[in-house]
Amino acid sequence: MKINRLAVRLCMCALVLFRALSLYADGKDSLSRKMIHMAGIDVKPAYVFPTHEFFAGNNATFSPIRKNLSVHLKYGFKFAPDTYFGRMYPHAVQGIGVGYNTFFHSSELGNPWSVYAFQTSRIASLTPRLSLDYEWNFGASFGWKKYDAESNPYNRVVGSKMNAYIHLSFLLNWQLDAQTNLRAGIGATHFSNGNTAYPNAGVNTLGASIGLTRYFGGTSRVTLADGSSGIVRRPPFDPYVSYDLIVYGATRKKGVFPEGGNPVLVPGSFGILGLNFTPMYNFSRYFRAGVSVDAQYDESANISSYIANSVGQPDAETIKFYRPPFREQFAVGLSVRAEVVMPIFSINLGIGRNVICKGADTDSFYQILALKTDITKNLFLYVGYQLHDFKDPNNLMLGVGFRFNAKGRE
């Protein structure tokens, strides 16, 4: 039986991530065991970007696919106001969610479910009861109908039954009462498999979001922490330098263009192994930035120059490669990193360039979007994606990191 490696990895990530959430939810690292729990429901109608002719109508029904609707149930928690995180991040809510998606075209796309971690917090208070919030979701979606040359030939956008699910929304949060909020706004969603299978055009939507959230427990502290009373006792923050050492791995697919022949999608998945060392200056409790030394071994790098087939035109079944020299598969780059720091999760953005490299595949700039999920004060889970030219996929990054000189939670 063929094992979907991405599915296995994302499941393992989810397990670790949920374990991390449960550790925090148990309050083992805080001064108080009292948590403020949250349950919510969101409805998200969305417009499907016609990023591929499949959505424009080149599908089995010859009708454009424009609409997407999803319904989400979420559980989350806030840290109690008398905890370190409660004082530092009084509006941050994190948890897990489950969503059901339909594109009204289940015959070729399916009706995928998404399971994800989310985090939401306040960007700005507009009035005592109205605020502008953001929310991100990151997880996996299941139940896609993937491309199949015989049974689903038009769907050249989804290559996996399971895909990553990424969502970012900006919401107006209206506090109906002390425990109930109505939230509405706009958000963008991206589904793709992170270049672990082809095709990987992905699905992108832009839509509205409306939902209700209800908090349970710690009501008085919620009110206190919401800032409406104007009294929040935050500990002073002294800037410092922390050092993240990250090891990650992943797999990726690779397509090559043999000279004088048709493009070939190379069978199997290539291994990725990376190491990042990132000293970062913690400017505030919300932000840190620094420079990262990024070393990465990519088993597929520059294989286009090492096609072994000299007998006939290679295809997906026959194509073989000589293994490129290590120096063409290994690259070391420097990147500038900026990181939004929140409880449990940190969102890391980076732009860099390989400086020790050889070959066209590695001699390039790259961009990084990554999510760090704290497991302990020093240990975190690292899930990210690397692009080049700001749009073309390089590879997933799934790994763990250790933060030296980590501070906080004291």
Partner 1 sequence: MKNTFRRLQCGILAVAWLLAGCNSDVFIDRFLSAEPSVSLSETEKEVTVCIEADNWDILGVESLREGVAVSATDLEGKNSKYLPFEEGETGIVYCKNAFLDFRVEKRNGSELHFISGENLYDQPFETFVRVGNRYEEKVIRVSFSPTRKYQIDSVAYDWSQFSSSDYMLEPVEQVEVNTLDASSPATVYFYPYKNSARIVEFYMQYGGWGGDENDLRKLLGDAASQVEIPDIVNGTPGLYGTRVSFRHQAQRLDAGLDKELKVSKTVEACKHVWLEVYNGIEQYNVPYKAYLSNSLTGKKLEISGTLSSKKPFNYLIIPIAITDEDK
Provide the binding-site residues for partner 1, judged by CB under 8 A. Answer: 5, 8-9, 12, 16, 247-251, 266-273, 299-300, 308-311, 314, 318-323, 375-376, 379, 381, 398-400
Extract the tokens encoding 302: 């520059």
Query: Least Å distance between CB 318 and partner 1?
Result: 7
Find out whether 117 and 138 touch, Cβ atoms under 8 Å: yes
Q: Which is nearer to partner 1, 109 or 256 (CB)?
A: 256
Q: Which is nearer to partner 1, 38 or 264 (CB)?
A: 264
Query: Least Å distance between CB 321 and partner 1?
Result: 5
Q: Which residues pair with 165 in a beta bridge?
A: 139, 191
Q: Which is nearer to partner 1, 236 or 312 (CB)?
A: 312
Query: Least Å distance between CB 312 and partner 1?
Result: 9
Extract the tokens encoding 307: 């096609």
> Residue for token digits 């732009």?
351
Query: Least Å distance between CB 159 and partner 1?
Result: 16
Cβ neighbours for 149, distance < 8 A, ≥ 6 positions apart? none
Q: Which is nearer to partner 1, 65 or 375 (CB)?
A: 375
Q: Which is nearer to partner 1, 191 or 321 (CB)?
A: 321
For 205-244, b/e burial (b = at least 16 CB within 10 A) is bebebebebebeebeebbebbbeeeeeeeeeeeeeeebeb
Q: Which is nearer to partner 1, 120 or 200 (CB)?
A: 200
Query: Least Å distance between CB 63 and partner 1?
Result: 38
CA angle (55, 186, 163) in 5-degree steps: 50
Q: Which is nearer to partner 1, 323 or 407 (CB)?
A: 323
Report H helices in 194-259. Answer: 219-225
Query: Least Å distance between CB 254 and partner 1?
Result: 8
How is 161-202 classified by DSSP, letter by letter? Answer: SEEEEEEEEEEEEEE-SSSEEEEEEEEEEEEE-TTSSS----
Q: Which residues pair with 359 in a beta bridge?
A: none
3-class SS of residue 7: helix
Query: Least Å distance between CB 402 and partner 1?
Result: 8
CB atoms within 10 A of CB 33: 11
